[in-house]
Amino acid sequence: MSVKQIELTVAPPAPHMVGDGFRVHNFIPSVYRLEMQRMDPFIMMDYNSKFMFPPTDERRGVGVHPHRGFETVTIAYKGKVAHHDSAGNSGTIGEGEVQWMTAASGILHKEYHDESFSRSGGLFQMVQLWINLPSKYKMSEPKYQAIDREKIVTCNLPNESGHIEIIAGKYKDLKGAAETFTPVNLFNVFLNANKSTDFEFPSHYNTFLLVIEGSIKVNQSETIETNHLVLFENKGEKFQIEAEENSIVLVLSGEPINEPIVANGPFVMNTKTELIQAFRDFHAGKFGYLAE
Ligand code: MN
């Protein structure tokens, strides 16, 4: 087993607003060297770094829009998001919770700050990922997994180092609650100051991390500050993170699907013909109905 070295460290790119509720740094796919093919199956990552939203009576967020061909995963660190989709699912994602929505053949949804959160205002911090689906599942039935607090699987680290919340995939013998279509590991790592822990993934998996809180040292060399991303090489299996202060780190590793990716806006397919079909089906109302 050899060490997985850092390929690239990325500072958060300038933020932009998605609707009026999400102030995000888009890491994937707009940062050079974090393109969809390189990060496969993680084809999009928007990060709302910690941001104070003042109180409002308005509804902040993104209105009804479609998706086809992949899954959207929303991880809440601060604040609260309410959402509804055309398959009849709805819910609220609170701090420490995750929503795993399989758009697959097509869904409409809307994502807003929870009403009570909007009224009080407060710190908001969230990650949204798009995870690609292999061609054979792109047109399967939409699906919805609400991974609330009681479903989060936690592994305590030895020596009071902290704990790991396993959202998807496997850490040691513990399996996360999310059902995935291809191998995906998604962990929230809570590491106490001056403690360290190791991770091990197959070398060909695309592997990266995002520092949510605090600062860490990777492989006893480079210091990585809050809101920075580290992409690892597709060589070696094992890496170490050490917390320089109490830290939270999102660790992601997935097996590449290795299929052609043809993406436009909210649709991610394998061919241009499928992409055109997605726009046609959407305009023909085949994604169902959802009130604004
Ligand atoms: Mn969406």
Distance 67 CA to ligand 1 centre (A): 7
For 284, other C-beta atoms within 10 Å of its C-beta total 8
CA distance to 43, 63, 92, 209, 245, per residue, from 225 (Å): 24, 33, 30, 12, 10
CB 249 within 8 A of CB 210: yes
Distance 168 CA to ligand 1 centre (A): 20
Q: Which of 94, 91, 90 is nearest to 80 (CA)?
A: 94
6-254, superfamily in CATH? Jelly Rolls (2.60.120.10)
Q: What is the DSSP string of 128-190?
A: EEEEE--GGGTTSPPEEEEE-GGG-EEEEPGGG-EEEEEEESEETTEE-S---SS-EEEEEEE
Residue 236: predicted pLDDT:
98
Residue 1: predicted pLDDT:
86
Rounded-to-integer distance, Cα 38 and Cα 32, Å: 10
Distance 10 CA to ligand 1 centre (A): 24
Distance 249 CA to ligand 1 centre (A): 24
Distance 2 CA to ligand 1 centre (A): 38
Q: Per residue of the chain (292 residues), give pLDDT as tens.
A: 899 999 999 999 999 999 999 999 999 999 999 999 999 999 999 999 999 999 999 999 999 999 999 999 999 999 999 999 999 999 999 999 999 999 999 999 999 999 999 999 999 999 999 999 999 999 999 999 999 999 999 999 999 999 999 999 999 999 999 999 999 999 999 999 999 999 999 999 999 999 999 999 999 999 999 999 999 999 999 999 999 999 999 999 999 999 999 999 999 999 999 999 999 999 999 999 999 8
pLDDT, tens only, 202-240: 999 999 999 999 999 999 999 999 999 999 999 999 999
Domain ranges of the chain: 6-254
Residue 83: predicted pLDDT:
93
Residue entry with tokens 């995935």:
180
Distance 115 CA to ligand 1 centre (A): 19
User: How high does pLDDT run on average in the chain?
Assistant: 97
Strand partners, 84: 90, 110
Rounded-to-integer distance, Cα 230 and Cα 255, Å: 17
